Structure 1
Amino acid sequence: MSIPKPIIYQLLPRLFGNKNTKPVVDGSRSENGTGKFNDIINTALQEIKKLGITHVWYTGIIEHAIVKAYPDAGIPHGNPLVIKGKAGSPYAIKDYYDVNPDLAEDVDERMQEFQNLVARTHQNDMKVIIDFVPNHLAREYHSDAKPEGISDFGDQDDGSKAFSATNNFYYLPHQQLHLSDEIRNRFPNTDYQEYPAKATGNDQFTAHPQLNDWYETVKLNYGVDYQNGHSAHFDPIPDTWLKMKDILLFWAKKEIDGFRCDMAEMVPVEFWQWVIGEIKSAFPDILFIAEVYNPYLYETYIKNGKFDYLYDKVGLYDTLKGVIRGERAARDISQCWQSLNNLDEYMLRFLENHDEQRIASPYFASDPIKALPGMMLSLCMHRGPVMIYSGQEFAETGMEISGYSGSDGRSTIFDYWNLPEHQKWMNDGRFDGELLSDRQKKLQTAYHDILKYAQLPAIVFGEFYDIMWQNTDSNIFNSDKVYAFLRHTVNQKLLVICNFDDHTQHLQVKIPTHALETMKIQRPLELCFVNKQSNAEHRLTCEEASEKGLSLNVSGYQYLLFEIRN
């Protein structure tokens, strides 16, 4: 049965299952260990499911470049000059047709171990999402697992041409790749040769990529000549398109339920329109989620690109982060939905992912309790999905110096490392939370309490109504710190109030007459506001609700959810 509102749990198996509590900075795989597919056991999945999760996004599944590999299994070591960290970036793909061998107990059985994880996830009534990385791949890309009859990227390229619609890569003819001194000085006794040089993944058409570039990756060519007016060459269908279609079908046939598409906006929308149509003709229920940051492209990538959902990063995430940090007013949240032009239901909401700073870090909120009203708002504001990141519910800080990653408030994706707070819940593979502090248990319970509202009919299917325009009197409603809205269907009407302040807010919350009419509540009637958390009731007439307002106290960093009955 399909789930109306996806609730996604993102995890990196490399970090999730690692039981080493004392990793060393810049440690190797043998020193620091790594989580495995087999560490994600039924008990772990059952506990994740209890949160209300419907989809698990397994990050770092497809084989990416790593420094020390498995030559005995036919997987050669990687060159550290073009790999970020010893464990490598999950977004520098080395073989689109294989899985990360680090995640297998038995490297020769790595694909079967992954497929067993997919089966376990399905058995626990959750769906599986993996990354699809279409814009770039590792400089040392080579597929030793590709199906018979499929050629590798670049095998048929003409490297003497900067651009050709039949090439898979972009070239800098007659130029040798020259990595910056900052990169080369990390490994002074190592050399890396690339001739002719290829364009770098973050659209750097230079033979001299810098440390802050995606220097470990090569940009893929989808038929757009970036250096000549972005001219498009899509007829005949470019070879890169065909290769990527084959890759998506390969994984879809392994019962993957969805793809989170990395940096989708760096790939032409015409490709997405074509390939998503092709994949969905064979697998109609498969999800495509796009990492897109440019709001001007949202409508194009939804309506033309055929994506199911897009990241809501530069809108709601950035706004909520500012509100949680006390840098923006809660009323600014209204601008988020107003700017989306009715695309709200397509937006994936989150407060953490692998790219963003952890809530509990000093770069975000320090105290994870401060984000709870933002989590409630993210879940309830519209019909689209919501996501949490493994460790978010246990206050991971991401402040450890792990190796390639510094102390920046992000859990490393480049190093062999652990999640120290998550490990307290994992408890050496028992997943019983015995080592969690009382504060962490309270936080975990708070996330459970929020996510349990995800499948309420008005949250899944209902319309949204922002009541901030009626609540502008600062004497009775502090719009700097409080945000309130309605969700409604014919049969269910909800009022949500979120307090982003550390103090209790004493409020008079007015329900506009227009909102009552929109919800088809006939006047004059007595309304009953039932608190979904405590079952306490507040009764007042329609006129009192619109003119005087509902008198409430909302505790610091908390929310209230009422069902309105008449």
Structure 2
Amino acid sequence: MVYERDFDRCRGEFSVDRIGTWEFTVEAWTDRFGSWRSDLERRGGGETHVDLLEGALLIEEASRRAKGEDRAGLKDAARVLREEAVPVADRTRRALSAELEKLVQRYLPPADLTRAPAVMKLWVDRPEAGFGAWYEMFPRSQSTVPGKHGTFEDAARRLAELKELGFDVIYLPPIHPIGRTHRKGKNHSLVAGPDDPGSPWAIGNEHGGHTAVEPQLGTLEDFERFVRRARELGMEVALDYALQCSPDHPWVKEHPEWFSIRPDGSIKYAENPPKKYQDIYPLNFWCQDYPALWRACKEILEFWIARGVKIFRVDNPHTKPFAFWEWLIGEMRREHPEVIFLSEAFTRPARMKALAKLGFHQSYTYFTWRNTAPELREYLTELTRTDMVEYFRPNFFTNTPDILHAYLQQGGRPAFRVRLVLAATLSPVYGIYSGFELCENTPFAPGSEEYLNSEKYEIKVRDWNAPGNIKEDIAIVNRIRREHRALQRLDNLTFCHSENDQILCYHKHAPGDDLLIAVNLDPHRVQETMVHVPLEALELSEEEPFEVEDLLTGERYGWRGRRNYVRLDPERQVAHIFLVHRASDPAGEGGGRVP
């Protein structure tokens, strides 16, 4: 516990060593001996025999609780303070000794102990909830033969490469049997051809529902082998948890009461105007028999947890009752505290925050739509400098199967490199959807954020080594993230002033690890600026020279003072990730690397 005199408050911390719920409270009492000792010091030689007797009484009280050598030492100190034959100055020196203070504090009981009325609770997650690089891929698109449906075995063959690229989590969209009724065709067509695979989010057919796998992907045993292979490589598999059904899902026949029945007797399908999803039936979470429905939803999680899945990306949680999530996450915390939930909720801020407070470990964000320096500064300040940092963990996805932002459509390869660096260095958790590494950026139509020939409705076989890919960039950035603690926290971001708003600059700090990051937000033109270095935070003077090492290229630059020059050409290098080296650093190293 540290006393902050300027604020007249105490500040404390404690370490945790396991996941789960921790409880803590605050106790306080008057430091009787410390108060007496402080008063004695202030007298500056004006202390009297009576003043020392007051201290002797406190020491004697402490001695009655001590044993052995400690008790003898305390009794001797009290005797000395009472001894009038000993000069007051000598007795005062004994009274003010640090060793005596430690002994008294150890045994002197508090006389006015008080405790905060509330017992606070703290939920502790495993480290993977707060740091990781995600890669989203459709296993059905992992074949190397155009038009051929991929399998779990095909997907497993890509895992080694994804590990080399530095990813920690492999996220799969729904892997379940896909409905046939009102199946969507290419580009969300209402009419599907005989070979169209349909949307994976239209879950369920005659082969089963949420606890079955699409037969063309393989068997449950094949999936379990895929999970084991990922684990062998040091990665985890995340599954989509989409609580909705196709018209062919077994639940439609077995439990029609779990759905919303319209006045004409038909089941209500999903809509997000102007879009209509006739191939998907939402569940009615407040149906008459909702406890049975909720238990069935929990059983889905338990089924996949038993097969090695510990991370779930939850589809549209904001469209389900918050009471349901509060119950379900509470059950998971009690029975499976290692499970992580990512909230895919692009909705109003209050609802996104509420889901985080209910227990979602991570959340999708508005990062996709924050592209200018003012937008990024404002949004990241909210995420990292307000109370949101205490409960809301952003997962910065650069793109999704649903979202191809105009910045990527119009900015070409440099734009993809820009968004990679921003996502990976502004948030400790980030992700990309496959095709990002190939800079896929053709929209369905002008002004649309949908992909042309969207993978949601067809199989896409890609050449993963196609010219123009940014795989090397991804591998380098992910390596830097793993090696530098400053990039593994959310609450350590400070923006630096840049004299040109086309170059965003920020500082990430961890003990012994200071990174200055500059990113050219203009994917079309060379930009240059004078960056204002936060000398105070770096403990540098205006006159002190220092060196910055670009971790992306290995180049080093000598800098001095607050204003320093940066020039970034998007066709060559869109960003600098500088490690600061001070002259005082051991052997000239910036430190901070993770062993």
TM-score (norm 2): 0.67
Report what 2:269 is aligned to.
Answer: 200
Give how far 1:540 is off. Answer: 4.5
Report what 2:101 is aligned to.
Answer: none
Residues 37 and 462 of structure 1: CA distance in aligned 2, closer, same or farther (over 3 Å): closer
Amino acid of the structure 2 residue aligned with 1:101: P
Where in structure 1 are there 5+ consecutive unaligned residues? 21-31, 70-79, 105-109, 143-151, 158-166, 176-195, 204-209, 225-232, 321-328, 426-432, 472-476
Match of 2:378 among 332, 335, 359: 335
Give how far 1:9 is off. Answer: 0.8
Report what 1:98 is aligned to.
Answer: 212
Verify: 1:558 aligned to 2:586, yes or no: no
Residues 263 and 18 of structure 1: CA distance in aligned 2, closer, same or farther (over 3 Å): farther
Report what 1:380 is aligned to.
Answer: 425
Amino acid of the structure 2 residue aligned with 1:375: L
2: CA distance, partners of 1:275 / 1:525? 56
TM alignment of 1:92-171, pairs within 5 A: 92-94=202-204, 95-104=209-218, 110-134=219-243, 136-142=244-250, 152=251, 155=254, 167-171=257-261
Verify: 1:489 aligned to 2:510, yes or no: yes
Give how far 1:198 is off. Answer: 1.5
TM alignment of 1:53-72, pairs within 5 A: 53-66=167-180
Give how far 1:172 is off. Answer: 1.3
- Kindly provide the CA deviation profile for residues 301-348 of structure 1, in whole angstroms up to 9, marking residues without a partner as x: 0112x1111111xx211123xxxxxxxx33321121234445366111
Verify: 1:409 aligned to 2:451, yes or no: yes
1: CA distance, partners of 2:442 / 2:220? 30
Give how far 1:353 is off. Answer: 1.5
- Kindly provide the CA deviation profile for residues 386-424 of structure 1, in whole angstroms up to 9, marking residues without a partner as x: 1111221123345699xxxx99534524544323xx2x2
Q: Larger deviation: 294-303 or 389-398?
A: 389-398
1: CA distance, partners of 2:401 / 2:321? 24
Report what 1:418 is aligned to.
Answer: 460
Give how far 1:457 is off. Answer: 0.3
Residues 333 and 19 of structure 1: CA distance in aligned 2, closer, same or farther (over 3 Å): same
TM alignment of 1:525-544, pairs within 5 A: 525-541=544-560, 544=561
Q: Secondary structure of the residue that 1:453 maps to in structure 2?
A: helix
Larger Rg: 2
Q: Secondary structure of the residue that 2:300 maps to in structure 1?
A: helix
TM alignment of 1:143-542, pairs within 5 A: 152=251, 155=254, 167-173=257-263, 175=264, 196-202=265-271, 212-223=275-286, 238-294=291-347, 295-304=349-358, 306-312=359-365, 315-320=366-371, 329-340=372-383, 341-343=386-388, 346-357=393-404, 364-365=409-410, 367-383=412-428, 385-397=429-441, 409-419=451-461, 422=462, 424-425=463-464, 433=465, 436-437=466-467, 439-440=468-469, 443-455=470-482, 456-461=484-489, 463-468=491-496, 470-471=497-498, 477-479=499-501, 481-501=502-522, 502-512=524-534, 516-517=536-537, 525-541=544-560
Give how far 1:124 is off. Answer: 1.7
Amino acid of the structure 1 residue aligned with 2:518: I
Q: In the comparison of the two structures, how many residue pairs are matched?
A: 435
TM alignment of 1:67-86, pairs within 5 A: 86=196
2: CA distance, partners of 1:57 / 1:88? 19
Please say if residues 66 and 83 of structure 1, whose CA atoms lie closer than 8 Å, have aligned partners that are also in contact: no
Please say if residues 463 and 489 of structure 1, whose CA atoms lie closer than 8 Å, have aligned partners that are also in contact: no
Verify: 1:11 aligned to 2:137, yes or no: yes
- Kindly provide the CA deviation profile for residues 221-257 of structure 1, in whole angstroms up to 9, marking residues without a partner as x: 1128xxxxxxxx9xx9632211101111111111012
Please say if residues 500 and 530 of structure 2, whose CA atoms lie closer than 8 Å, have aligned partners that are also in contact: no
Q: Secondary structure of the residue that 2:395 maps to in structure 1?
A: strand
Q: Secondary structure of the residue that 2:333 maps to in structure 1?
A: helix
Please say if residues 203 and 210 of structure 2, whose CA atoms lie closer than 8 Å, have aligned partners that are also in contact: yes
Structure of greater relative contact order (alpha carbons < 8 Å, 6+ residues apart): 1
Residues 398 and 132 of structure 1: CA distance in aligned 2, closer, same or farther (over 3 Å): farther
Amino acid of the structure 1 residue aligned with 2:350: Y
Match of 1:34 among 149, 171, 179: 149
Please say if residues 356 and 362 of structure 2, whose CA atoms lie closer than 8 Å, have aligned partners that are also in contact: yes
Residues 494 and 212 of structure 1: CA distance in aligned 2, closer, same or farther (over 3 Å): same
Give how far 1:156 is off. Answer: 5.0
Please say if residues 249 and 279 of structure 1, whose CA atoms lie closer than 8 Å, have aligned partners that are also in contact: no
Residues 118 and 538 of structure 1: CA distance in aligned 2, closer, same or farther (over 3 Å): same
2: CA distance, partners of 1:302 / 1:527? 41
1: CA distance, partners of 2:266 / 2:279? 12
Residues 363 and 550 of structure 1: CA distance in aligned 2, closer, same or farther (over 3 Å): closer
Give how far 1:282 is off. Answer: 2.5
Please say if residues 368 and 405 of structure 2, whose CA atoms lie closer than 8 Å, have aligned partners that are also in contact: no
Give how far 1:496 is off. Answer: 0.6
Q: Secondary structure of the residue that 1:372 maps to in structure 2?
A: helix
Give how far 1:364 is off. Answer: 1.6
Residues 365 and 450 of structure 1: CA distance in aligned 2, closer, same or farther (over 3 Å): farther
- Kindly provide the CA deviation profile for residues 144-184 of structure 1, in whole angstroms up to 9, marking residues without a partner as x: xxxxxxxx466355xxxxxxxxx4111113x1xxxxxxxxx
Give how far 1:276 is off. Answer: 1.6
Give how far 1:523 is off. Answer: 7.9
Please say if residues 65 and 92 of structure 1, whose CA atoms lie closer than 8 Å, have aligned partners that are also in contact: yes
Residues 37 and 465 of structure 1: CA distance in aligned 2, closer, same or farther (over 3 Å): closer
Give how far 1:550 is off. Answer: 1.5
2: CA distance, partners of 1:171 / 1:83? 29
Amino acid of the structure 1 residue aligned with 2:132: P
Q: Secondary structure of the residue that 1:244 maps to in structure 2?
A: helix
Please say if residues 82 and 216 of structure 1, whose CA atoms lie closer than 8 Å, have aligned partners that are also in contact: no
Amino acid of the structure 1 residue aligned with 2:266: A
Q: Percent identity?
A: 18
Please say if residues 314 and 341 of structure 2, whose CA atoms lie closer than 8 Å, have aligned partners that are also in contact: yes
- Kindly provide the CA deviation profile for residues 490-531 of structure 1, in whole angstroms up to 9, marking residues without a partner as x: 221111100022333222100246xx24x6668875443232
Amino acid of the structure 2 residue aligned with 1:285: E
Residues 493 and 211 of structure 1: CA distance in aligned 2, closer, same or farther (over 3 Å): closer
CA RMSD, Structure 1 to Structure 2 (Å): 3.2
Residues 262 and 310 of structure 1: CA distance in aligned 2, closer, same or farther (over 3 Å): same
Give how far 1:485 is off. Answer: 0.7
1: CA distance, partners of 2:194 / 2:423? 33
TM-score (norm 1): 0.70
